[in-house]
Amino acid sequence: MLLVQKFGGTSMGSLERIANVADKIIKAREAGHQVAVVVSAMSGETDRLIALAQAIQAEPDPREYSMLVSTGEQVSMSLLAMMLHSKGVPARSYTGNQAGIHTNSVYKKARILNLDCKRIQKDLAEGRVPIIAGFQGVDSCGEVTTLGRGGSDTSAVAVAAAIQADECQIFTDVEGVYTTDPRVVSTARLLEKVTFEEMLELASLGAKVLQIRSVEFAGKHNIPVRVLSSFVEGNGTLITFEENVGLEQPKVSGIAFNRSEAKITVRGIPDSPGVAARILGPISRAQIEVDMIIQNVPVAGIIDFTFTVHRDDFAKTVEIVEEIARELGASEILKDKKIAKLSLVGVGMRSHAGIASTMFTALGTEGINIQLISTSEIKISVVVDEKYLELGVRTLHSVFHLDQQEVREEWDPHPL
Ligand code: ADP
Ligand code: ASP
Ligand code: MG
């Protein structure tokens, strides 16, 4: 098989770990596979570089930001090449530019436009291991761009699409995709398969195990993606394009959460046509994405209007909203950064009623107040006070029978 193997930050975190990665690549080659590799920076390195930049300026110039943070991957790729050499395996490392990863010019959140994979293919044909720096590309002017946090996943899937790999293997620090983040809920269960649609929702709602764009890319180009551990042997989780909605399909497949949003409420504005557009128009023109929106029922012709944005965009959004609120004669603006979003995801939701009410009842029983709700065909999201995030996730995980123990009790005929 032709494989792309991507190794994340923890997997590349020290020379011992890089040696472990080299052994994995060698093992795959010995099993008869051709392997192209994509790497992340050593763990903590990208954060360290960003902190250095921000110690100089809160909003550093995006071009210089990308120049700086892309260096993390260049360290790890060349170390891995040397490690493979030391074990007698020919390998060559490539920057995004050298690997022909062409992006648009949105420096910090660039999108891959196309990939000219001649050098990668030549290496593969001649028995070398090409090692490509993840997270970076080059725009049409030759400037270095970066793909957004977690972007090496997307580099890997893009390389897999370009060389028409049989599978893109994302090696990370957990054994695959779980019912929820196993670092938060210890009873989270490893999923053998997850549908592409579910993975898309989980990734977009906060499960950082895969960058959302990598999942989009996999869908667009039909690339089988498997998430597995660099440290523990196993089959990991396959992202499947099968619909597999049968009788066995659980109602809820997984729970995602994030604390990266902030909530803004504009109070006491007139209930007149176009008010929502007056508030949200300038925000979207400032390239800020609004997530959840709620407008309450008017009382005496007056409404409150609430929405959420990413915390990184909070200050800018407040600045914009203050001006509009003045024009609209709003009574006040409420700002809340201490919120968390919890989301249930599952293709099985399509065919099961009552999931929302079970969810709301469970949260209510724990005294967790729901501030905002949004739904789609296969997900329900709620915003709650940040301090209830872990309690909320654990409660829902158990209410929807996702815990490992319960599965064992139900299914294992020979419990320990
Ligand atoms: P890498 O450096 O390998 O890219 P990341 O830290 O980006 O690794 O992603 C792996 C992490 O994703 C895990 O350590 C885990 O804490 C987190 N995670 C969040 N949700 C999930 C989930 N549903 N299943 C597995 N891991 C998850
Ligand atoms: N090193 C980059 C980051 O930390 C890209 C990645 O790890 O995928 O975001
Ligand atoms: Mg990652």
pLDDT of residue 242: 77
Domain presence at residue 282:
yes
| Residue 253 lies in domain | 246-416
Q: Is the CB of 204 under 6 A from ligand 2?
A: no
Domain presence at residue 300:
yes
pLDDT of residue 272: 87
Q: How many CB atoms lie within 10 A of CB 324?
A: 19
The CATH number that applies at residue 364 is 3.30.2130.10
Ligand 2 centre distance from Cα of residue 301 (Å): 49
- Collect residues with CB below 5 Å from ion ligand 3: 150
The CATH number that applies at residue 63 is 3.40.1160.10
Which residue puts its alpha carbon closest to atom 6 of ligand 2? 150
Q: Which of 263, 168, 261 lies closest to 215 in space, CA to CA?
A: 168
Distances (CA, A) of 145 to 71, 120, 310: 11, 20, 22
pLDDT of residue 406: 47
Q: Is the CB of 155 under 6 A from ligand 1?
A: no
Ligand 2 centre distance from Cα of residue 232 (Å): 22
Q: Which residues sit opposite 258 in a β-bridge?
A: 341
The residue from 129, 147, 173 where one domain ends is: 173
Q: Are 126 and 268 in the same domain? A: no
Residue type, 384: V
pLDDT of residue 405: 61
Q: Are 142 and 275 in the same domain? A: no
Separation of CA 304 from chain center: 32
The residue from 150, 173, 196 where one domain ends is: 173
Ligand sitting nearest the alpha carbon of 206: 1
Taking each helix axis from N to C end, the angle separating 212-221 and 152-162, rounded to the nearest 10 degrees, works out to: 10
Residue with tokens 């060349």: 78
pLDDT of residue 349: 87
Q: Is the CB of 41 under 6 A from ligand 2?
A: yes
Q: Structurally, how many domains does the chain consist of? A: 2
Ligand 2 centre distance from Cα of residue 198 (Å): 23
Task: Return averaged pLDDT per consecutive 10 residues of the chain, 416 residues in all.
Answer: 98 98 98 98 98 94 97 98 98 98 95 96 98 98 97 98 97 97 94 94 95 96 96 95 64 93 95 91 92 90 94 94 93 96 92 88 96 92 96 96 63 41
